[in-house]
């Protein structure tokens, strides 16, 4: 064959590879997520701010301080993300700003969030609003926080205020971000404020979070904006895999956190029962049927090994799978786990799913491109099997204050220089824009970044056709 034939062949191959392997379907939400305390700056009135001031609490010695100064810079930030193609954004409201003292609501703070949401809508970006993302107003922390039963009524009133004041500007509401992570870090592991290590306190907190969620769910759905609103939680889901699949001990050691950490909360909000091991058939009838959707936050897999010498860890040691790539955080990069948690969540609850967080701490952007395409390929695989997934919100829009790790862990599509507040998109940001522009994955992208996912797209229906 002569050069013309070669050219012809090359052209054909190029059109083939630029064809879509998967179309995510109409109305799919594309964007990223942030949380108030991690990006806004100067959230001086909450329990995290107070705790950060104690030397030694934050791993890299930093404090949230001005963070990304997003409280002031949100218009430019949103415009940048819109320019990257995002049509949605997940953010959280800072309770300590909205209700600085019990029962006292601050109208400038509400005006601020009205501007924030209005700016998003003006840009054509759908907001998803979280009411509680780890931080508590100081006054609440001082009356016992989520351990005290009083929190349920307090949270209900705060939710009512937010939906009345902001409900015309947002339809997607997350009541609580990662109740399981919050309860575990703050009340079992004692790593986050208020640094309690007590199993009974953990169960009390989780039960109050279910009750608080249920109360907020009702406030939102029964408000004047309720007909248009959809309410859910963002749950952190991990794959817990037994170290030796043949060992009944390792299997039980992995099954326990799967049940308690991954599913206890979602189960309670589905059937109104607080089950084993965090409550022995304790009824929580108000929680029955209080999830319009489930937000999935997925990061990693843990290998679990039964360890008799670790009673404090419920006889289970967890570690990343040996020999696999890990993020700056030391977490394994395991995209198939996203499919596994989606499948498991769908099979149990049959609720529409949003990926409300997924990302990787990767300062130099060496893993993020492949992680992004890999995880999206796994979302696509689940969609192709008929699972109702409505959006993907990457963690995070930009680098921010990573809780007790400080500013060292870099999760942003956009890098932030915290000295100058300069924003610089990482290469993955452009890759993500490319996916968004197509509303789909190209063969070429799967081939280049996640070849093991190629078989998902051979034959079968895509979401748009089925």
Binding residues vs ligand GAL (CB under 6 A): 35, 38, 177-178, 181, 236, 297, 357, 395, 402-403, 411
* Least CB distance to ligand GAL at residue 38 (A): 6
Nearer to ligand GAL, 299 or 457 (CB): 299
For ligand GAL, which residue has the nearest CB? 35
* Least CB distance to ligand GAL at residue 402 (A): 5
Nearer to ligand GAL, 306 or 354 (CB): 354
* Least CB distance to ligand GAL at residue 166 (A): 21
* Least CB distance to ligand GAL at residue 215 (A): 22
Nearer to ligand GAL, 103 or 330 (CB): 330
* Least CB distance to ligand GAL at residue 299 (A): 7
As a whole number of angstroms, the distance between CA 425 and CA 326 comes to 22
Question: Can you give the three-state secondary structure of the chain, one letter per residue?
Answer: CCHHHHHHHHHHHHHHHHCEEEECCCCCEEEEECCHHHHCCCCCCEHHHHHHCCCCCCCCCCCCCCCCCHHHHHHHHHHHHHHCCCCEEEEECCHHHHCCECCECCHHHHHHHHHHHHHHHHHCCEEEEEEECCCCEHHHHHCCHHHCCHHHHHHHHHHHHHHHHHCCCCCEEEEEECHHHHHHHHHHCCCCCCCCCCHHHHHHHHHHHHHHHHHHHHHHHCCCCHHHCEEEEEEEEEEEEECCCCCHHHHHHHHHHHHHHHHHHHHHHHHCEECCCCCCCEECHHHCCCCCEEEEEEEEEEEEEECCCCHHHCCEEEECCCCCCECCCCCECCCHHHHHHHHHHHHHHCCCEEEEECCCCCCCCCCHHHHHHHHHHHHHHHHHCCCCEEEEEEECCECCCCHHHCCCCCCCCEEEECCCCEEEECHHHHHHHHHHHHCEEEHHHHHHHCHHHHHHHCCCCCCCCC
- Residue of 123, 221, 215 lying closest to 172 (CA atoms): 221
- Cβ–Cβ < 8 Å for 325, 333: yes
* Least CB distance to ligand GAL at residue 330 (A): 12
Which residues fall within 8 angstroms of residue 268, CB to CB, at 6 or more apart?
210, 274, 275, 284, 287
Nearer to ligand GAL, 71 or 411 (CB): 411
* Least CB distance to ligand GAL at residue 398 (A): 12
* Least CB distance to ligand GAL at residue 177 (A): 5
Nearer to ligand GAL, 184 or 306 (CB): 184
* Least CB distance to ligand GAL at residue 416 (A): 15
Nearer to ligand GAL, 167 or 232 (CB): 232
Positive or negative torsion for Cα 150, 153, 156, 157: negative
Nearer to ligand GAL, 374 or 412 (CB): 412
* Least CB distance to ligand GAL at residue 190 (A): 17
- Beta-sheet pairing, 172-177 with 230-242: parallel
- Residue of 277, 274, 300 lying closest to 213 (CA atoms): 274
Nearer to ligand GAL, 132 or 381 (CB): 132
As a whole number of angstroms, the distance between CA 198 and CA 184 comes to 10
Nearer to ligand GAL, 88 or 442 (CB): 88
* Least CB distance to ligand GAL at residue 314 (A): 21
As a whole number of angstroms, the distance between CA 283 and CA 70 comes to 42
Nearer to ligand GAL, 243 or 395 (CB): 395
* Least CB distance to ligand GAL at residue 146 (A): 16
Nearer to ligand GAL, 158 or 411 (CB): 411
Tokens 């290590």 belong to which residue? 197
Nearer to ligand GAL, 234 or 269 (CB): 234
């Amino acid at each position: 064959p002569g050069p013309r034939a070669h050219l012809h062949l090359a052209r054909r191959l190029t059109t083939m590879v630029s064809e879509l392997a998967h179309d995510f379907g109409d109305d799919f939400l594309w964007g990223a997520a942030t949380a108030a305390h991690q990006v806004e700056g100067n959230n001086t009135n909450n329990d995290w701010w107070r705790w950060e001031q104690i030397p030694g609490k934050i791993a890299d010695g930093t404090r949230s301080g001005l963070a990304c100064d997003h409280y002031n810079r949100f218009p430019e930030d949103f415009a940048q993300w819109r320019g990257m193609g995002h049509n949605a954004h997940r953010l959280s409201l800072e309770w300590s700003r909205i209700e600085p003292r019990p029962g006292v609501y601050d109208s400038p703070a509400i005006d601020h969030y009205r501007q924030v949401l209005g700016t998003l809508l003006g840009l054509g970006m759908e907001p998803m609003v979280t009411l509680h993302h780890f931080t508590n107003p100081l006054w609440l922390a001082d009356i016992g926080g989520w351990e005290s039963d009083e929190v349920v009524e307090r949270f209900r009133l705060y939710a009512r205020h937010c939906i009345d004041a902001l409900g015309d500007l947002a339809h997607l509401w997350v009541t609580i971000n990662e109740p399981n992570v919050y309860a575990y870090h703050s009340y079992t592991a004692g790593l986050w404020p208020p640094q309690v290590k007590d199993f009974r306190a953990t169960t009390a907190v989780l039960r109050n979070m279910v009750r608080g969620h249920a109360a907020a769910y009702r406030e939102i759905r029964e408000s004047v904006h309720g007909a248009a609103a959809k309410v859910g939680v963002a749950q952190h889901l991990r794959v817990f895999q037994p170290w030796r699949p043949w060992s009944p001990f390792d299997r039980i050691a992995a099954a326990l956190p799967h049940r308690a950490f991954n599913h206890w909360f979602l189960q309670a909000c589905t059937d109104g029962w607080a089950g084993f091991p965090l409550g022995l058939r304790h009824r929580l009838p108000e929680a029955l049927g209080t999830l319009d959707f489930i937000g999935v936050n997925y990061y990693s897999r843990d290998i679990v090994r039964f360890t008799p010498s670790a009673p404090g860890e419920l006889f289970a040691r967890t570690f990343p799978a040996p020999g696999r790539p890990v993020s700056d955080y030391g977490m394994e990069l395991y995209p198939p786990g996203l499919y596994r948690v989606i499948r498991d969540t769908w099979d149990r609850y049959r609720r529409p799913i949003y990926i409300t967080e997924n990302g990787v701490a990767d300062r130099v952007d060496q893993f993020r491109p492949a992680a992004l395409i890999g995880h999206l390929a796994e979302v696509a695989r689940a969609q192709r099997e008929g699972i109702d997934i409505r959006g993907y919100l990457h963690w995070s829009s930009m680098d921010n204050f990573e809780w007790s790790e400080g500013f060292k862990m870099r999760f942003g599509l956009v890098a932030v220089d915290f000295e100058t507040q300069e924003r610089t998109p990482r290469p993955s940001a452009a890759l993500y824009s490319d996916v968004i522009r197509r509303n789909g994955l190209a063969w070429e992208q799967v081939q280049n970044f996640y070849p093991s996912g190629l078989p998902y797209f051979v034959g079968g229906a895509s979401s748009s056709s089925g």
